[in-house]
Structure 1
Amino acid sequence: MPATRLMPTDEAADLIELTREICHKELAPKVDESERKHLFPKATFRTLGAAGLLSLPYPEEFGGGGQPYEVYLQVVEEIASAWMSVAVGVSVHSLTAYPVATFGTDAQKAALLPGMLSGEQLGAYCLSEPLAGSDIASMTTRATPTGDGSYSLKGTKAWISHAGHADYYTTFARTADTGSKGLSTFVVPADAAGLAFAAPERKMGLHGDPVAQVMFDGVVVDGARRIGEEGQGMMMALSALDSGRLGIAAGATGLAQAALDQAATYANERHQFGRPIASNQGLAFLLADMEAAVTSARATYLHAARLKDAGRPFSKEAAVAKLVATDAAMKVTTDAVQVLGGAGYTEDFPLERYLREAKVTQIFEGTNQIQRLVISRHVLAG
């Protein structure tokens, strides 16, 4: 059963109900086949976009939903409980609009945000590289001024969601050899000459979320598509990741909730020795621990979101939420498979897929080892 929410407004409650209805009617009937066949759910993103669910945390004046981050994240959680690949895509898309919405000029916001927030466009976030994952400052993709106000981008990005399917690529590239202070941000249109894509990675899960390398071979980008000043890219990337980590935390919570719901239903319906297996205290306590993990995960991401909505620092809390929620997702999906026993190990139930999908949440948007590093630095700084 869907978890009970305390909504800040009636409008927010209506949004959650709309999301649940779309998940029930549009996402749930398609997820198994799409994941099995590795199909990219472009039409599903169009559906969510038409419902206004791809632009919730952004200003209404540019086509956004004007909703608190707290509400947006609960929408992501609901989507994840039905289809994790799509929830990850929603989080990624929101991340791609963040630099323009937060650091762009008025002219850039007017030119770019309406398309990004219309529901008709889908973005990709090009930060990681083959040899620059957690160490963002070591990236080598370079943006070289052409002399006419444009830049020529050359290099390779890795692990990019929506590669080959996106309408634009929010890209970080080096404009100076000054380490972390030499990175800049660009919005690259998908039809730019010289933009190419490798074959999708062969992943263990999230098969509806194609991930591939993106190659920039002399891709010319107008200077008007550089967001902020040269050298501000690192600051933008880290700021965006704080928000992106909350998206992954919310998605991981939704995935864990789905696994818990499946396990509880099975425990009530499966009979052994003349009674439901749920009547065994050992199994009932396992379900109780799973519920505690899911509830704790939800509390951490909502706490961080409320700090963000209040304009207060939330970097540490975002790292805590990402760490707690994704570890919870891994534990809960593993335990859910155990509740179903042999049945949980088969493809007859979605739990084996949930388990495979949970693993990557501990890796992307900063590994959980990086989250512990971020948290410890905040703690030790006093």
Structure 2
Amino acid sequence: MPGTVNGSLTSTLTPALRARLAEAAAESARTGRPDREVLGLLRQSGLLATAVPREHGGAGGDGAQVNRVVERIAADNPSVAIIAFQHFAVSARIAEWGTDEQKQRLLPALADGTVLAASAWSETGAGAAKRNLASTGIRRDDGSWVLHGTKAFTTGAGVADLYLVLVSTGAPAADAAPGEPEAPAAVYGAAGQTFFLVDAANPGIAPQPGPGLLGMRGSATGIVRLTECAVGDDSRLGPQGAATEIIAGVRRSGATLGAVSVGIAEAALDHGLRHAARLGLLSEPAVSHRLADLAARLESARALVERAGARTAPDPGLTTLYSKLHASTTAEDICLDVARLTGSTGYLGDDTAARLFADARGIALMGPANPLCRELAVTSWN
């Protein structure tokens, strides 16, 4: 259904598909593994076309549309939602920075679900801001590259077909476009870092399961090892050394992980309402008023995510940071309050409220992690 995301969202996320997403979320929480059947349904749904331009077979969606789609998926399965979010982010970066050849080759496949994309930026010891990468890209005499290193906390590891890999190439962007503004003192990334698009079929890339997570257990978050990973210069995304500029564009797009948090918070609130109704507690002001307060907080988070996607604020990138901060902390608070409301059942490891709280906590730790969001926000004030 490329080209009709807004009109097709309700029909695509049918009650049957939503039930299957929710079933997979509960099962993945127990097994710690992604549900490949559900990911296959995601590929077939048409939703992966959201961030691909229409001229390349996509829906032409902006940050606002991405946020809506991600929120709706997250209300049923947060793990699948962050896999979709990363796919949308890579699609948008190729649309913005890719060569004509890269766009023609990759974007139609990203739109129709043939190719599922993931981001491999983080690594142990790099810090939240990714300023100390140990992974490297070495340019050979013929212009091709060899990538080395290990990326950690890669969402979609082992299920994605294409990885957007961030490595240090050791030199600033000699071929960057003239007139580009200098990066701020505190940035996400560092000078001399470059992005590469690496096919999962490349023998030099090896996605592996990572350490067991408390939340987002169906997200296939793991490790990506690069060993003598040879790629052509046509795999480089954007100018050499210009990764910080590309990363900054992610925030300016208005697409935000806060949308996942809103979906999680909605699911938690619905769980609390069902619990209260089942026990006849909605007639108790102490319960119903508290739920009303939680509903108001949910709407405030949703409104800020929508404002970020609309890009109507004077500084859209700053609003995107605020939306991630506010929505993720709000989701944690709502999940915790609902767990308290459900009493002893909310303390069970397989309880819905407990699972949603673990997922909500995961968003606060995802890039940019909330402490880094605060640091970037403060830096922008200067």
Contact 2:5 2:47 in 1 (8 A): no
- Pick from 142, 148, 169: which aligns with 2:142? 148
Aligned to 1:255: 264
- Pick from 307, 318, 321: which aligns with 2:320? 318
Deviations 1:169-211 (A, max 9, x none): 1111111255822111110111212222444211111111122
Contact 2:4 2:59 in 1 (8 A): no
- Pick from 304, 316, 341: which aligns with 1:339? 341
Aligned to 2:111: 117
Higher helix share: 1
Q: Which amino acid aligns with 1:265?
A: R
Whole-Å separation in 2 of the counterparts to 1:10 and 1:238: 28
Whole-Å separation in 1 of the counterparts to 2:353 and 2:252: 29
Q: Which amino acid aligns with 1:216?
A: L
Gaps of 5+ in 2: 173-188
Q: Which amino acid aligns with 2:261?
A: A
Whole-Å separation in 1 of the counterparts to 2:66 and 2:209: 32
Aligned to 2:357: 355
Whole-Å separation in 1 of the counterparts to 2:31 and 2:320: 34
Deviation at 1:31, TM superposition (A): 2.7
SS of residue matched to 1:277: coil
| 1:212 maps onto 2:216 in alignment | no
Deviations 1:237-269 (A, max 9, x none): 2322555x8441111101000100110111122
Deviation at 1:20, TM superposition (A): 4.8
Q: Which amino acid aligns with 1:70?
A: A
| 1:136 maps onto 2:138 in alignment | no
Equivalences for residues 367-382 of structure 1 within 5 A: 367-378=369-380, 380-381=381-382
Q: Which amino acid aligns with 1:128?
A: S
Against the structure 1 CA distance between its residues 28 and 377, is the aligned structure 2 distance closer, same or farther, given a 3 Å change threshold? same
Against the structure 1 CA distance between its residues 304 and 11, is the aligned structure 2 distance closer, same or farther, given a 3 Å change threshold? same
TM-score w.r.t. the length of structure 2 is 0.89
Identity %: 27
Whole-Å separation in 2 of the counterparts to 1:329 and 1:185: 32
Contact 2:63 2:255 in 1 (8 A): no
SS of residue matched to 1:16: helix
Aligned to 2:181: none
Give the paired residue count.
364
TM-score w.r.t. the length of structure 1 is 0.89
* Greater RCO, CA 8 A, separation 6+: 2
Whole-Å separation in 2 of the counterparts to 1:166 and 1:328: 30
SS of residue matched to 2:50: coil
Aligned to 2:310: 306
Deviation at 1:347, TM superposition (A): 4.7
Whole-Å separation in 2 of the counterparts to 1:376 and 1:22: 45
Gaps of 5+ in 1: 1-8, 271-275
- Pick from 190, 204, 214: which aligns with 1:194? 204
Whole-Å separation in 2 of the counterparts to 1:13 and 1:230: 39
Contact 1:76 1:247 in 2 (8 A): no
Whole-Å separation in 2 of the counterparts to 1:215 and 1:292: 44
Contact 2:5 2:59 in 1 (8 A): no
Contact 1:201 1:210 in 2 (8 A): no
Deviations 1:111-152 (A, max 9, x none): 221222221221220111111132322212111112122100
Contact 2:123 2:151 in 1 (8 A): yes
Task: Point out 4+ residue stretches in structure 1 off by more than 6 angstroms.
Answer: none
Q: Which amino acid aligns with 2:277?
A: N
Contact 2:194 2:236 in 1 (8 A): yes
Contact 1:52 1:65 in 2 (8 A): no
| 1:268 maps onto 2:268 in alignment | no
Whole-Å separation in 2 of the counterparts to 1:251 and 1:117: 21
- Pick from 169, 174, 180: which aligns with 2:168? 174
Whole-Å separation in 1 of the counterparts to 2:360 and 2:204: 35
Deviation at 1:25, TM superposition (A): 4.3
Against the structure 1 CA distance between its residues 311 and 345, is the aligned structure 2 distance closer, same or farther, given a 3 Å change threshold? closer
